[in-house]
Structure 1
Amino acid sequence: MTINAAPNRHWRHNACVPRTFDDLVAEADSVPVEGWDFSWLDGRATEERPSWGYQRLLSRRLAGVSAALDIQTGGGEVLSGATTFPPTMAATESYPPNAALATKRLHPRGVVVVATRDEPPLPFADEAFDLVTSRHPVTVWWSEIARVLRPGGTYFAQHVGPATVLELVEYFMGPQPQRRTEHHPDVETAQARAAGLQVVDLRMERLRVEFFDIGAVVYFLRKVIWTVPDFTVDAYRERLRELHERITTDGPFVTHSTRVLIEARKP
């Protein structure tokens, strides 16, 4: 996704009374999907966490700078977990429902949330920030990140890596070989360097994801819309029904996400 923006949390699986395909799909197709709170999936899906603990590392970095910017903040769920914000703290979000959630969550803590278009430029002056952060950005605007960073400033982020939930994508869309190279760390390193940044830390992990019922799959695809870009229940009902039968017979649908931790510094 330009997840591909899969969620960074543990979902728990609990035993439940079997439900029909139509009931599971109707429920998952009707619940709100704004923001990046994936608690609706508790008991219905699991995802391993990366070992590094992005939110904890983010909180440490925010506590040590004077001005920071969080790009594509979603509903502010991750940023709001920081214990301390710098004197100047801003965040951007382009999806209006998420921008509203982020404003409600972050304004009381002194964070300025700016609703932007999903394209450059960033609405900030040159060299405005010591730290720029992002968790699961859809697109990384390396030149803009370099522009708004002060000399010696840092970009610190967790990106969605290549082939994220590829097994799920290809179940619905067929072979997608290009997804194996999209968002590859080598490509992103080259792009960062081309923008004048020095990559000082780069890590990638492959993580197990399990879906325990078809409702979880529907909810996930509605929420992380770039996974299967044309997804609707009506368009994919027969494939969903086949997957429901497979899960019922064989157990959870297993796929894998990749996460990349990247830290780049402006000389």
Structure 2
Amino acid sequence: MRSFAELVREAESAPVEGWDFSWLDGRATEQRPSWGYQRLLGQRLAGVDAALDLETGGGEVLAGARATFPPLMVATESWPPNLAKAAGLLRPRGVHVVAQGESPPLPFAEAVFDLVTSRHPVAPWWDEISRVLRPGGTYFAQHVGPASAFELVEYFLGPLDRRTHRLRHPDDERAAAEAAGLRVVDQRHERLRMEFFDVGAVIYFLRKVVWMVPGFTVETYRDRLRELHDQITERGPFVAHASRVLVEARKPA
């Protein structure tokens, strides 16, 4: 049985760059969606001449797609530590890694890409996605769905209003994609069990996925974290549910 102070110290010092969550092995679990996004991503990449991966993080998902990249393969990222990590991982494989701003536009001309992809974008820029796709091109992505891990979020922030629970709803995303001139041809939504086995796993997760509890620090939430440590120790893992949406949309030819 490890102490609260030891778990906190370890989680606060762990590096959080990129989208490799292997630090959580044995400390947290998350059920995976049934569709297998990374496998499908590899299949899509094999059939195009030019592709763009938005918000690639540290490039781990794209690199692990086990695909032969198309002649033009571009990845974007906005957070400097992730950008550096993605460049080191992807550039040796011929991928152009480009800095992306925090707001539109994307730094590309119109109708450049046959395929635009993204795994867990913060907020899809539908108009820009449509603009950079060639006629007949496809947007293929896995989004974070509505109220993802809100059991954990609300443990720290308290109850959130109905509007916040509605954010990222598949119906709203479909409407936004269609308003940008895309036709949604596939959309699937699943809620998936998450378990956190110690408070250090929670701290690491919230340090890495910074938008879940904005401004999260151990010092700010020390009392709640200590209560959570006691709860996990006495009752077992903290359970939440991730929300994931598979999206495939096409630009008319």
Flag whether TM exceeds 0.5 (same fold).
yes
- Measure, in 1, the Cα distance between the counterparts of 2:41 and 2:126: 19
- Measure, in 2, the Cα distance between the counterparts of 1:148 and 1:116: 14
Q: Find the counterpart in structure 2 of residue 159 from structure 1.
A: 143
Q: Which amino acid aligns with 2:144?
A: V
Match of 1:33 among 3, 10, 16: 16
* Aligned counterparts, 1:192-207, within 5 A: 192-207=177-192
Q: Find the counterpart in structure 2 of residue 130 from structure 1.
A: 114
How many residues align? The count is: 250
- Measure, in 2, the Cα distance between the counterparts of 1:208 and 1:151: 38
1:236 aligns with 2:221: yes
Q: Tell me which moved more, 156-165 or 77-86.
A: 77-86
Q: Find the counterpart in structure 1 of residue 246 from structure 2.
A: 261
Give the CA deviation at 1:179: 3.1
Give the CA deviation at 1:75: 0.3
Q: Find the counterpart in structure 2 of residue 43 from structure 1.
A: 26
Q: Find the counterpart in structure 2 of residue 109 from structure 1.
A: 93
RMSD: 0.6
1:93 and 1:115 in contact (8 A); partners too = yes
Q: Find the counterpart in structure 1 of residue 127 from structure 2.
A: 143
Residues 203-254 of structure 1: CA distance to partner in whole angstroms, max 9, x if unpaired? 0000000000000000000000000002100000000000000000000000
Give the CA deviation at 1:180: 1.6
Match of 1:208 among 193, 199, 219: 193
Give the CA deviation at 1:118: 1.4
- Measure, in 1, the Cα distance between the counterparts of 2:212 and 2:159: 13
Q: Find the counterpart in structure 2 of residue 74 from structure 1.
A: 57
Residues 58-101 of structure 1: CA distance to partner in whole angstroms, max 9, x if unpaired? 00000000000000000000000122100000010000000000
1:245 aligns with 2:239: no
- Measure, in 1, the Cα distance between the counterparts of 2:164 and 2:220: 22
- Measure, in 2, the Cα distance between the counterparts of 1:252 and 1:246: 8
Q: Find the counterpart in structure 1 of residue 154 from structure 2.
A: 170
- Measure, in 1, the Cα distance between the counterparts of 2:165 and 2:68: 37
1:166 and 1:179 in contact (8 A); partners too = no
Q: Find the counterpart in structure 2 of residue 7 from structure 1.
A: none
Q: Which amino acid aligns with 1:69?
A: L
1:97 aligns with 2:81: yes
Q: Find the counterpart in structure 2 of residue 19 from structure 1.
A: 2
Q: Find the counterpart in structure 2 of residue 224 from structure 1.
A: 209
1:119 aligns with 2:93: no
Residues 134-186 of structure 1: CA distance to partner in whole angstroms, max 9, x if unpaired? 00000110000000000000000000000100000000000112332010000
SS of the aligned residue for 1:78 comes to helix
Q: Which amino acid aligns with 1:117?
A: G
- Measure, in 2, the Cα distance between the counterparts of 1:116 and 1:88: 17
Q: Tell me which moved more, 74-83 or 43-52.
A: 74-83
- Measure, in 2, the Cα distance between the counterparts of 1:81 and 1:22: 36
Deviating 4+ runs (over 2 angstroms): none
